[in-house]
Amino acid sequence: MALFAFSFVVYWLWNRVLVAVVPVKAVTYWQAMGLLILSRILLGGFKGGPPGGRSFEGGRALARKVASNERGRSSEIQK
């Protein structure tokens, strides 16, 4: 039931907002549902996180670690 309601919201917003602001064509209700399902697959869901309960914290920690390593390497290069 929620999928149908969210599909209507996507359909309505797409046809009311995006068509007026960006040069895109209007979509049908079924195309809006397809966009919603595709975004669920690609972006990982509607419940605030990726599928399977994984979080992005591991990625953030890795990014901080890489950034700190890069700072160390750049100071070595300057010496």
Cα separation, 42 vs 64, in Å, equals 25
Choose between 41 and 78: higher pLDDT: 41
Please report the sign of the dihedral spanned by the C-alpha atoms of residue 17, residue 11, residue 50, residue 38: negative
pLDDT in tens, 6-65: 999 999 999 999 999 999 999 999 999 999 999 888 887 656 555 555 555 666 777 777
Confidence of residue 72 (pLDDT cuts 50, 70, 90): low
Residue that is written with structure tokens 């966009």 in the block: 35
Q: What is the DSSP letter of 24?
A: -
Contact 58, 65 (CB under 8 A): no
Which residues span the domain enclosing 59?
A: 2-78
**Structural domains of the chain, count:** 1
Q: What local confidence, expressed as pLDDT, does residue 32 receive?
A: 95
